């Protein structure tokens, strides 16, 4: 089972995707605790999500954990699953209203980072951490 999780391609360039996805999620998770009214519970309450206090901390925890694991290239595939889920929820809960009220192009403009994180997460689930990862060392 462990071999299936840590299996990865030999591409060194995966480090670039890991740096992008990992740094964004780690940073966003930390900010949910540093600025809860703006980035955590307050934001979740503003967009109408249930139990925003719990959800802000819950999402923040998984963003920090997943972001750190992705940066290290440790259990990359597994760590990218919560980031994928977070991005799907973020797109549905925040961009649907923009699409309905402002149209397609404003929604696309406002969701460019969301799409990059979503597709980066999918890529990491498919490819793993790459040559420059702890996963690669565990695979041997």
pLDDT score recorded for residue 62: 98
Q: What is the pTM of this model?
A: 0.92
Local structure of residue 10 (DSSP, 8 states): -
pLDDT value for 69: 98
* Cβ neighbours of residue 82 closer than 8 Å, sequence gap 6 or more: 62, 63, 65, 66
Q: Consecutive 10-residue runs of the chain (140 residues): their mean pLDDT?
A: 84 96 98 97 93 96 98 97 97 92 95 96 96 91
């Amino acid at each position: 089972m462990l071999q299936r999780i840590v299996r990865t391609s030999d591409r060194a360039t995966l480090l670039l995707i890991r740096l992008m996805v990992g740094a964004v999620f780690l940073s966003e998770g930390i900010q949910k605790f540093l600025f809860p009214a703006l980035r955590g519970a307050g934001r979740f309450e503003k967009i109408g999500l249930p139990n925003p206090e719990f959800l802000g901390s819950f999402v923040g925890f998984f963003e920090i954990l997943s972001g750190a694991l992705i940066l290290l290239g440790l259990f990359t595939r597994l760590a990218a699953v919560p980031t994928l889920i977070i991005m799907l929820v973020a797109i549905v809960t925040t961009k649907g209203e923009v699409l309905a009220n402002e149209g397609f192009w404003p929604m696309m403009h406002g969701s460019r980072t969301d799409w990059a994180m979503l597709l980066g997460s999918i890529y990491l689930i498919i490819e793993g951490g790459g040559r420059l990862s702890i996963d690669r060392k565990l695979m041997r």
